[in-house]
Amino acid sequence: MLLAMNVLGIACPFWHDPSAALVVDGEAVAAAEQERFCRRKHAPRELPVDAARWCLDFAGLRPEDVHAVAYPWSVAALRRNLWPHVRRYFGRRPGKALKAVLRTGRNRRKRVGKLAPTLKGLGLDPERVRIAYVDHHLAHVASTVHASGFEDCAVASIDGIGELTTCLFGVARGGRFETVSEIQRPDSLGLFYAAITDYLGFEVNDGEYKVMGMAAYGDPSRIDLSDLLVSRDGDLWLDIDYLWTPKSKRWHRDRVFGRKFVERFGPPREGDAIDEPYVHIAAAAQQRLEEAAIGLIEHHLEPALRKTRRLCLTGGVALNVVLNRRLMQHPWIDEIYVPPSPGDAGTALGAAAWTAMELGDPVTPLRDAYLGPDYDGDAIARELEGLRIPYERLQDPPATAASLLAAGEVVAWFQGRMEWGPRALGNRSILGHP
């Protein structure tokens, strides 16, 4: 009798979006972010103990049933890309390049050090469980390639930063992945957009979608950002005197844009107004992101795209749906797949899928995004009664919801399992009359 292979993915190498996922016999059975349990958006600096415990409980597994733990951060990747990273920095900030070398050990301890207390919180001994350290971008890659069901495709992982890599391009053949090219920090599309997000008064790693929405109100021809983010001949260059600036040159120590950016474009946006020049800056940033991302994909992946006409896209930048729409319209692309959770939270499932494949388990394509907790009517009733909130059980909830919507009311719609990723796909949604 063959025993099931249980791989638990745990993502917490960064300060935001810790998560956990479980792959059993090559199938994703559970995935959830820690924020869903602690009720703090993005769960900053928390360990995904609750999320991982729920995954095991949902599958009826004990900690000792876990065959391997997959972690989406790798010391090997850090070391492999250290010198390309140093060379990029050296001409611009020699001191920063030297610090990158000297702080490698501290960076490793900081990232990997979060795993042991997470495992101990689950009742797992870090010394006795098998741990697979998966390159961060390979975890991103697995989250899209294995979920897509594509046998052959071009692959792009475009992120802020993982280890030291910001962009990774490659080709998937028969479920296996081959890297074509990488770009290292400080040159990053994700960090570029995050700095613009900060300047426009939104929170980094949270408000980027607001910049994307604001861009629709602006005119990109009114603002020139072309010299701050240069993409040419398959490479990328970010002017760190303006964006993601060293602390000594920042407008404020807690902001990631430089004094030179403020001198050129004016004071950062405050308040809720959607006005000039900020809407134009948002539009110009969106345009530069699209132009650079598409240019890089074309340069590195043209042969694979022309052959397969399929693209798997992942990384935090893949959350930019306006960019995704442009890629869908690209003449070389017939099919595009973006996983439900392309950001860092999604690497828990990606790392687990990658590790399952490495251990010989073929991974089943993802059927849907409903991988989180569900609650039956009795559980909800007990919660409402404990909070002394009145309720009634409905014979026909859809008809009642339709009547409320027709009357101009807003409906919170809750059913089935929670979605995986930052989307409202009908199981946890707010509905309103259009």
Positions annotated as catalytic residues are: 16
Backbone angles phi, psi at 406, to 5 degrees: -65, -30
Cis bond upstream, residue 186 (ω within 30): yes
Q: What b-and-e string marks burial along 317-331, b requiring 16 or more CB atoms within 10 Å of the CB?
A: bbbbeebbeebeeee
C-alpha span between 100 and 107 (Å, rounded):
9
- For 324, the 3-state DSSP assignment is helix
CA atoms within 13 A on the CB side of 49: 13
User: Residues 6 or more apart from 372 whose CB is under 8 A from it?
Assistant: 30, 31, 32, 36, 417, 418, 419, 420
Among residues 78, 58, 145, 88, which one has the least CA distance to residue 337? Answer: 145
C-alpha span between 333 and 66 (Å, rounded):
39
C-alpha span between 52 and 32 (Å, rounded):
8
User: Residues 6 or more apart from 51 whose CB is under 8 A from it?
Assistant: 18, 19, 20, 32, 33, 34, 36, 37
Q: How far is CA 409 from CA 178, 305, 403, 423, 431, in A?
A: 51, 47, 9, 22, 9
SS3 content of the chain, % helix, strand, coil (to 5): 40, 20, 40
Q: Where are the alpha helices (DSSP H) in 200-320?
A: 208-215, 259-265, 278-308
